[in-house]
Amino acid sequence: MSRRPKIAIVGASGYSGAEIVAILLRHPLVELNTLMTANQERQGARPQISDVLPQFLEVSDLEIEPLDFDELRKRDIAIVFLATPNETSHELVPQLLEHKLKVIDLSGSYRLREKGLYSRWYGFEHHFPALLDFAVYGLTEVNRQQIRAAELLANPGCYPTSILLPLIPLQRGGLLNSDADIICDSKSGVSGAGKSPSPNTHFSEVTESFKAYNVMRHRHTPEIWQELETANLIFTPHLLPINRGILSTIYVKTRKTTTDSMITDCLLQAYNREPFVRIHRNGTLPEIKFVAHTNFCDIGWKLDADRSNLVLISAIDNIGKGAAGQAVQNMNVMLGIEETLGLL
């Protein structure tokens, strides 16, 4: 590559945005040269990133500037990361595309292909249905070919990433009973709720407790249904009293002819050459501590062949593989450079 592609982030002060900043500052082949905010209340201010996030003190002196589409074009930005709320991304994506800028959106605003789902699951009307068909769903290991040519990439949600990666190969390989419901119990660290203060995520509310939330109404549910092409799935998220990480326990029925070796072969065939998916064998199972602060998705399982019961266990870092890490992985694919750069 003759020159380093220039990268911009809008919304760098949130958890996912800050993680992207940290990754890109150590990335050997791209240049993070622009941080902007879409927050109207901060349009006049230009703080340095280290003023807002002291972990970048003496690491980066980049300013957080007001959002300026023309300035992004002048700086020859190759890709813009949007680490912004759903409604904000919904409005910004069309404008960025009009300025001929490629976008990786970490919000849920362009993940669902059906316009009508947004009012029910996200609480706002979607006004750009043509872009829902145009967006590429960025589950890297599954959609890599489409990602290479993407101009608008919808980065997957954290829970769906942890659920889809174990299930898709087995589903496509015909090893699952398609008539049976799939049950997904997923547990996430508190950072999955985002940085905005909430009474439900205060330390005193979360510590020494464990609870289910948004039962039957979590916005990631239709995303999982969409990518599996089935609504025979019940998803329940839980809140863990830890900072980061997701552990998903997935209960499925297999076909009566499915064996443990068939599951092993199917998952290895799908992921043996994937740098960020690790298959647990020999009876070991994933844990959050094995994947925290990484871009790995670890997958393990136990099969009761007599009863056709399969329990899949997956673990990811919700800010890593569930958000910022996967977004950078997708950036690497879009730029045609080594997929692991900045992430290993």
The SS3 call for residue 168 is: helix
Q: Work out the pLDDT band at 32, boundaries 50, 70, 90.
A: very high
Q: What is the pLDDT of residue 16?
A: 97
pTM: 0.95
The answer to whether residue 195 scores a pLDDT higher than 80 is no
Mean pLDDT computed over every residue of the chain:
95
The domains of the chain, with CATH numbers, are 6-134 (3.40.50.720), 159-318 (3.30.360.10)
The answer to whether residue 76 scores a pLDDT higher than 70 is yes
Residues labelled as active-site residues: 158
The answer to whether residue 182 scores a pLDDT higher than 90 is yes
Q: What is the pLDDT of residue 41?
A: 65
Residue range 84-134, pLDDT digits in tens:
999 999 999 999 999 999 999 999 999 999 999 999 999 999 999 999 999
The SS3 call for residue 318 is: coil
> In percent, how much of the chain has pLDDT > 90?
90
> What are the b/e assignments for 107-140, b being 16+ CB within 10 Å?
bbbbbbeeeebbeebbeeebebeebbeebbbbbb
What stretch of H or E contains 264?
helix 260-271
Cβ neighbours around 86 below 10 Å, total: 18
How large is the average pLDDT for residues 306-320? Answer: 98
Q: How many residues does the chain have?
A: 344
Q: What is the pLDDT of residue 39?
A: 83
